[in-house]
Amino acid sequence: MARKCDLTGTKHQTGHKVSHSNIKTKKKFRPNLQNVSLTSDALGREVSLRITAATLRSVDHNGGLDKYLTTTSDSKLTAEAVRLKRQIKKAVGQVAA
């Protein structure tokens, strides 16, 4: 399983660990990934995702998974998240019709 956020695609960053004597060693800074189940009101089910803690805060700040996906542009989302976004829009369109 890749160490990558399912919604935003955030993955590891590389840099240097710098010691007290200023020796630089290559290091990977890994994202804080969490396994969560978020409820989608439009789909009427829970969606299991592996997302970063920062993305989880953004989802909560925006008012839930449905609202977060509909307000975020496709360029900032992964292919799986865009697919989920289309399912949500389709379900909302059927309810409104």
Locate 70 and state its tokens: 């509909």
- Mind listing the pLDDT tens digit for each residue in 44-76? 999 999 999 999 999 999 999 999 999 999 999
Question: Is residue 21 assigned to a domain?
Answer: yes
Is residue 4 classed as helix, strand or coil in its secondary structure? coil
- Mind listing the pLDDT tens digit for each residue in 8-41? 999 999 999 999 999 999 999 999 999 999 999 9
Identify whether the C-beta of residue 81 lies closer than 8 Å to the C-beta of residue 31. Answer: no
By CB atoms closer than 10 A (0-12, 13-18, 19+), residue 87 is middle
- pTM of the model as a whole: 0.85
Q: Please give the tally of structural domains in the chain.
A: 1
Residue numbers of the domain that contains 52: 13-96
pLDDT of 96 > 70? The answer is no
Question: Is residue 75 assigned to a domain?
Answer: yes
Question: Is residue 6 assigned to a domain?
Answer: no
E strands, 2-96, where? 13-18, 24-29, 33-40, 45-52
Question: Is residue 3 assigned to a domain?
Answer: no
